[in-house]
Amino acid sequence: MKAFQLVEWQQPAQLHDVPVPEPRPGQVLIKVGGAGACHSDLHLLEAPAPPNPVPLPFTLGHENAGWVEKLGPGVSGFAIGDPVIVYGPWGCGLCMNCRQGMENYCQAPGGAQPGGLRGNDGGMAEYLLVPFTRFLIPLGSLDPRVAAPLTDAGLTSYHAVKRSLPLLGAGSTAVVIGAGGLGQMAIQILRALTGATIVAVDTSADKLEMAKKFGADEGLISGDDAVRRVKDITGGQGAEVVLDLVAVTPTLAMAAQMARVLGHLTIVGVGTSTLPVNFQSPPHECAVAAPFWGSIPELIEVVALAQAGKISMLVEHFPLDRAAEAYQLLHHGKINGRAVITPNG
Ligand code: NAD
Ligand code: ZN
Ligand code: ZN
């Protein structure tokens, strides 16, 4: 089968012929419906080799959904053809965090080992080998080609919002910086779960238009005027929650100025910049956190929200042989929503 692989650090990924994996006991082979192209892949493709070696090549794609193709010996609970979404951060399943479903924070050495990110093969191929059935969530009537981004863009945004729910009652304000794949999801999740006024901030007017269609009350172009506007609509206090889905120096500075005393400043973007922290900034007792992905129970909740029609992702489909082009477009900010690779058409 064809697979879109990271072959060498800081080199473009390539299509390679690889064997179709054979599921061993406990494993499941998935026929890939959709594999989302996440901005984290761009960070990965552009980064130097990590300090602890990750074996190359491996197949990209950590945002996957498809249909059960083949069950390894002893596997039960799923039937051939079942539509499923794949939980991405594969943990050990045995540590305390994993046993609570938070495999994103697996305590085993090296932490979670997601397919498509850290040496294990991901979903940008016709088939994906999933090591355990606990990583499979039934999709019901949802189409895997459309649902795939729920498992990262959806789950990461959901987890980031959910941990701040006590701050987001009626009359509160939530700011979403970066209205791309994750941002679009975060806005809809805020709309579905909270009474907050939702402010989207982006450098692109097109992304802000889309953000309003997905439920943002305001769309602001990134910069000092956006800070002033957030102060205005919050009576000078700042927002209860600011999600920075970009996390470069200017957005972190903006986030610190937009957040309020006792608020949450949540860094989701994988920028390499640093947030200056001192007595004055961020505001007093504003908690800063950088959450990673989400838990298995949360993914079940995200799928339920999508099944209820409360969240949906704008997707643009690309065949496997156009995966490189999808990443180029993402790099240039030309994807509205999520590019999803569809290896099986
Ligand atoms: P994306 O490319 O789809 O969206 C990024 C958005 O940010 C775009 O709309 C872009 O116009 C906007 N943007 C860029 N610079 C900006 C600025 N200065 N001010 C305001 N907006 C700006 O990316 P994505 O797939 O949504 O990913 C967003 C970030 O989240 C990436 O850094 C990615 O690596 C990270 N991520 C983190 C986790 C996690 O677990 N923490 C999970 C998935 C993705
Ligand atoms: Zn991702
Ligand atoms: Zn673990």
CB distance 256 to ligand 1 below 6 Å: no
pLDDT tops 90 at residue 277: yes
Instruction: Tell me how far the alpha carbon of residue 263 lies from the centroid of ligand 3, in angstroms.
Output: 31
CA 189 to chain centre: 13
Q: How far is the CA of 79 from the centre of ligand 2 (A)?
A: 28
CA of 166 relative to ligand 3 center, distance in Å = 28
% of the chain residues with pLDDT over 70:
100
Beta bridge partners of 288: 265
CB 39 less than 6 A from any atom of ligand 1: yes
- Find out whether the beta carbon of 40 lies less than 6 Å from any atom of ligand 1: yes
- pLDDT for the residue 172: 98
pLDDT at 271: 85
Distance CA 149, CA 314 (A): 10
83-112 confidence digits (pLDDT tens): 999 999 999 999 999 999 999 999 999 999
Mean pLDDT rounded to a whole number for the chain: 97
Q: Is the pLDDT of residue 242 over 80?
A: yes
Angstrom distance (rounded) from CA 2 to CA 194: 43
Which atom of ligand 1 lies at the shortest distance from residue 270's CA?
A: 32
295 Cβ neighbours under 8 A, 6+ residues apart: 100, 101, 102, 103, 104, 159
Q: Per-residue pLDDT averaged across 40-47, rounded?
A: 92
Q: In this structure, are strands 2-6 and 14-17 parallel, antiparallel, or unpaired?
A: antiparallel
So what's the pLDDT on residue 205?
97
Query: Residue 303: which of 312, 293, 315 has the closest Cα?
Result: 312
72's torsion region: left (phi>0), alpha (psi -120 to 50) or beta?
beta
- So what's the pLDDT on residue 339? 98
Q: What is the value of pTM for the model shown?
A: 0.98
pLDDT score of 53 more than 80: no
Average pLDDT over residues 196-210: 98
Say what the pLDDT of residue 243 is.
98
